[in-house]
Chain A
Amino acid sequence: MSKTMTGAKMVVQALKDQGVEVIFGYPGGAVLPIYDEIFQQNEIRHILVRHEQAAVHAAEGYARSTGKPGVVLVTSGPGATNAVTGLTDALLDSIPLVVLSGQVPTFMIGNDAFQEADTVGITRPCTKHNWLVKETDRLASTIHQGFHVATSGRPGPVLIDIPKDVQFANGHYTAPPQADTKMYQPRVKGDIEMITRLVEAMELAERPVFYTGGGVINSGPAATQLLRELVEATGFPITSTLMGLGAYPASGDKWLGMLGMHGLYEANLAMHGCDLMINVGARFDDRITGRVADFSPKSAKAHIDIDPSSINKTIQVEMPIIGDVAHVLEDMLRVWKSRGRKVNKEGLTKWWKQINEWRTVDCLSFKPSEKTIKPQHALARLEELTKGHDRYITTEVGQHQMWAAQYLGFEDPNRWMTSGGLGTMGYGFPASIGVQLAHPESLVINVAGEASWLMNMQEMGTAIQYRLPVKQFILNNERLGMVRQWQELLHGERYSHSWSEALPDFVKLAEAFGAKGIQCSDPADLDDAIMEMINYDGPVIFDCLVEKHENCFPMIPSGEPHNKMLLGEASTKDAIGNSGAVLV
């Protein structure tokens, strides 16, 4: 079936055929024909953001919380360059996005035309793949290919650059089934021989640990279900990266908490001391490994990943398994069951005894205060007062992000949206908008720091316009807290430009946009204030004035291995050597 239509109409038709319900965008000269088509239909909802970076983060929030690809529409030149941070963020965190950008007409490309930028050139290293479409006849099939590439294999962002004359011209529409997707077919089934070798190791291991990551969540609900079944059946402890929180429930008794630089003591020591590490959809990021040479020195390691380039990139593993997490876990369970469901019971008992000893250190304990709100206390109370709700959490980047990961518990996947790989300040607010659009009835909270939050505060307009009751829970320490912490530990307490001067009155700011503002500085008022935020039907800026000099612990100083964790203020003196100081 082939219909003739304009390129602009084709864009909208292709999005409908891909099942797109929401797109995030901002109009401009080079996308006017597409906006004209959007105007003349009601199936796809367009959300007008206030800055293109926010459009991409909102689409990331939408994608991460639904498992569906997020779609963005921006104009040429500055529209596209503003999207670059979001694209890079999505690439590092493997979030499926389809970004459509307008381009100057084909006959003007290369002439330094108004609002011209080499968009495919600029975005080549920050997309999974990108296309410049020069013929209207190829536009629809390219968009369908874009959705296929973004969502298959290791997900990621793609960009399709569409010159304005291609939008105006007529061409033949290609429906999704006719589009060629054979060109990209990543392998999903793991090598059964290697899976069997891993199962044999699981039967013998005395000190096994599951180390899981965002790949479990990207693989979908089946992967989460299989992971939970495997953990329960084997009785192995499980820890997760920042990106993987929620795949295994935080209330589960095999849960060790998050690992890594600000991970839990018991999780990091289990990683350091294990004899079998089973990496499921994580990538041995430097926030996880610490000093590579001393990373988990006594263990045999298995690595399940759909991306062959993740394997042996930083950590050499004995058992590489290339495949989709759900497929591989299904085979693992099947093989393990058929071999008689064996585990090393004696070893495991000892291992759990050791882990429970580590747990008694209670590494997340903090000194509460009656005078000032400790940020940890604020999050502990937020957890207590919201955990029964249908709740989604996004975060900005910094100390508050790590505290949120430590003190909030996630029972299900797709409930936690954070910028892990790129560490993008300004991610959380627009992401919360994307999440709220996908889940209009749910409680969506962005845990923020005041500095990060200001980076995309213009999105208050979007939240108000679309009546999105997103809660902005700002831990305001008037500092760039994580920068300040590193300056204290590494740079002789010289706090170079790490404080927030000239902050706005957040309550008045909320009111100026037509939202509700709440300020809280007294620990005694905190619960009531949080309840007021939850119960308000509309967007809220919650200005939580917290202790200004609190540091985030536990912490593995940069350049150190897992067993050299800092647990509190007393242990920080000269903790980071010269070689560690050059790391970030």
Chain B
Amino acid sequence: MSALKIKKGSSRKSAYDLRDPNGEVIENHTLAILVDNEAGVLARVIGLFSGRGYNIESLTVAEVDHEGHLSRITIVTRGTPAVIEQIKAQLGRIVPVHEVHDLTVEGPSVERELALFKVTGQGDKRIEALRLAEIFRANVVDSTLESFVFEMTGTSEKIDAFADLMRPLGLIEMARTGIAALSRGA
């Protein structure tokens, strides 16, 4: 870049990863944010996203450490590498935020989502819905003579695929939790 032939990027110990900061490719990143479970903390996090014009594709939050009053917020966001780095830095500066992990770049991770589907129908459609639910390992958690409620856990893609199949078979309502994610290994 310059006449001084300075290596671009970061030193061994700095927090900056070495992906091309000028890349224009929009990427999905899953961030795990550990926060104090106190009033307003979620508002701080989502206010940051809306105030600075970042995207939220999915958001999940719940207390994970009752003793330590810690909650875990999992956010899936989209942006260029520079925007993702900026989001992480901005999150890090919120006072009750303890840790920000980018699960997408920090090694392999698992992501799961839980969804509930209400499917109404009779006759062949009803039987077909039940058959497909078995293939997808969805559980029936409620049933009437005209309807089922299926429960399914899986990746977002699997849930999308199941929803697509259920739509012509009488899917009338659906609820999803958003993504929860953990890094693999110890």
Chain B residues with CB under 8 A of A205: 4
List the B residue with the shortest CB-CB distance to A148.
B95
Q: Which of B7, B40, B95 contacts A318 (CB 8 A)?
A: B7
Total residues of chain A contacting the partner, CB 8 A: 35
Chain A residues with CB under 8 A of B82: 312, 316
> Are B95 and A184 touching (Cβ within 8 A)?
yes
Pairs across A and B, CB under 8 Å, 11 listed: A124-B44, A124-B47, A129-B96, A191-B14, A205-B4, A275-B2, A298-B2, A311-B16, A312-B21, A318-B7, A320-B16
A363 in contact (CB, < 8 A): no
B93 in contact (CB, < 8 A): yes
Chain B residues with CB under 8 A of A120: 40
Chain B residues with CB under 8 A of A318: 1-2, 6-9
Q: By DSSP majority rule, is chain B's interface helix, strand, loop, or mixed?
A: loop
> Are B1 and A300 touching (Cβ within 8 A)?
yes
Contacts between the two chains (Cβ within 8 Å), count: 86
B10 in contact (CB, < 8 A): yes
B89 in contact (CB, < 8 A): yes
Chain B residues with CB under 8 A of A201: 4, 6
A193 in contact (CB, < 8 A): yes
* A154, A276, A308, A316 pick with most chain B CB within 10 angstroms: A308
- Given A121-B40, A194-B10, A300-B6, 20 more pairs with CB closer than 8 A: A125-B51, A128-B95, A183-B96, A193-B12, A193-B13, A193-B14, A197-B7, A197-B11, A201-B4, A204-B4, A275-B3, A308-B92, A308-B93, A309-B92, A311-B16, A312-B16, A312-B82, A312-B85, A316-B82, A320-B14
Q: From residue A398, how far is it (CB to closest CB) to chain B in Å?
A: 27
List the A residue with the shortest CB-CB distance to B20.
A316
Question: Which residues of chain A from 179 to 215 have any CB-CB distance to chain B below 8 Å in the complex?
Answer: 183-184, 191, 193-194, 197, 201, 204-206
Instruction: Give the CA-CA distance A129 to B22 in the complex, in Å.
Output: 32
B111 in contact (CB, < 8 A): no
Chain A residues with CB under 8 A of B11: 191, 193-194, 197
List the B residue with the shortest CB-CB distance to A300.
B2
Chain A residues with CB under 8 A of B186: none
B43 in contact (CB, < 8 A): yes
A364 in contact (CB, < 8 A): no
List the B residue with the shortest CB-CB distance to A120.
B40
B135 in contact (CB, < 8 A): no
Chain B residues with CB under 8 A of A184: 95
A194-B14, A197-B11 known; A316-B22 Cβ under 8 A: yes
B102 in contact (CB, < 8 A): no
Q: From residue B138, how far is it (CB to closest CB) to chain A in Å?
A: 40
Chain B residues with CB under 8 A of A308: 15, 89, 92-93
Q: From residue B14, how far is it (CB to closest CB) to chain A in Å?
A: 5
List the A residue with the shortest CB-CB distance to B51.
A125
A322 in contact (CB, < 8 A): yes
Instruction: Give the CA-CA distance A61 to B133 in the complex, in Å.
Output: 67
Instruction: Give the CA-CA distance A469 to B81 in the complex, in Å.
Output: 54
The digit string for A83-111, where 1 denotes a CB below 8 A from any CB of B, is 00000000000000000000000000000
List the B residue with the shortest CB-CB distance to A311.
B89
> Which 3 pairs across A and B sit closest by C-beta, in order of nearness?
A309-B89, A300-B2, A193-B11
Instruction: Give the CA-CA distance A124 to B9 in the complex, in Å.
Output: 33
Question: Which residues of chain A from 32 to 54 have any CB-CB distance to chain B below 8 Å in the complex?
Answer: none
The digit string for A104-143, where 1 denotes a CB below 8 A from any CB of B, is 0000000000000000110011001100100000000000
Instruction: Give the CA-CA distance A276 to B113 in the complex, in Å.
Output: 49
The digit string for B175-186, where 1 denotes a CB below 8 A from any CB of A, is 000000000000
